[in-house]
Amino acid sequence: MELPGKLFVVAAPSGAGKSTLVKALLQHEPHLAVSVSHTTRAPRGQERDGCEYHFVSVDTFQQMVAAGQFFEHAHVHGNWYGTSRSSVERLLADGKDVVLEIDWQGALQIRELFPAAMLVFILPPSWDELAQRLRGRGEDLPEVIAQRLANARHEVAQAERFDFVIINGSLDRALADLRAVVREQPDALRFAAQRDNHPDVFAALDLA
């Protein structure tokens, strides 16, 4: 399927700093907009319906799946998440290039539908740093954090299937890299080049 604008997909394990990075990206690159997903999980903290997510029941979500209203959907950490066609199409109709902040399963579904989509994976600089960030945000119960850390092992292993890889050690550096990807897709940020340039990080994350 062809789209009138560009489509960027950003995936990462929880705690890698994806939301902060994407928020900063949008401030610097006003031609981009992020699609608001649907989810069956409950709102956290200050989250409001229609802002971070459209919060829906499992029934509503399943009806939307059956009606073909999602470009992709996936079960992530025990809840359903999906990218609605209408959300993406509305942004494209406004002349925006679109960013999807979704999990790796959804990213690979998007690539099947839109081969021109550019898939970006955000890596933490180390497992220790990822664990510290998850504990530090203080939003989740210890058992939820433990589950997310366990899932992160499998999620990080998917990075090789993505076009571009960004290591989020320093926010400034990672943001500069992400901006470079949306502007000019540099070969230096492709998976193989990043692995050659950062062998220690990749080895520590079991991606060597």
Q: Is 173 helix (H, G, I), strand (E, B) or coil?
A: helix
Q: Using the rule CB under 6 A, is 106 a contact of ligand 5GP?
A: yes
By rule CB under 6 A, what count of residues binds ligand 5GP? 15
Number of C-beta neighbours around residue 194 at 10 A: 22
For residues 153 and 196, which CB has a smaller minimum distance to ligand 5GP in the complex? 153
Figure out which of the listed residues 76, 156, 166, 174 binds ligand 5GP, where binding follows CB under 6 A. 76
Contact code string over 11-30 relative to ligand 5GP, x by CB under 6 A:
---x----------------
At 155, the amino acid letter reads E
Check if the beta carbon of residue 182 is closer than 8 Å to that of residue 29: yes
CB of 100 to ligand 5GP, least distance (A): 7
At 196, the amino acid letter reads D
Residue, CB closest to ligand 5GP = 106
Max Cα distance, the chain (Å):
47
**Options 21-29, 77-85, 128-136, 193-201: segment touching ligand 5GP (CB under 6 A):** 77-85
Q: From 36, 24, 3, 9, select the one nearest 179 (Cα to Cα).
A: 24
Figure out which of the listed residues 98, 102, 130, 207 binds ligand 5GP, where binding follows CB under 6 A. 102
For residues 62 and 193, which CB has a smaller minimum distance to ligand 5GP in the complex? 62
How many Å apart are CA 30 and CA 36, to the nearest integer?
16
Subset of residues 113 to 132 that bind ligand 5GP, contact rule: CB under 6 A: none
- N- to C-terminal Cα separation, the chain: 34
Check if the beta carbon of residue 182 is closer than 8 Å to that of residue 8: yes
For residues 51 and 192, which CB has a smaller minimum distance to ligand 5GP in the complex? 51
Beta bridge partners of 10: 101, 120
Q: Which residues are annotated as a binding site for ATP?
A: 12-19
Binding site for ligand 5GP (CB under 6 A): 14, 37, 41, 72, 74, 76-77, 81-83, 101-103, 105-106
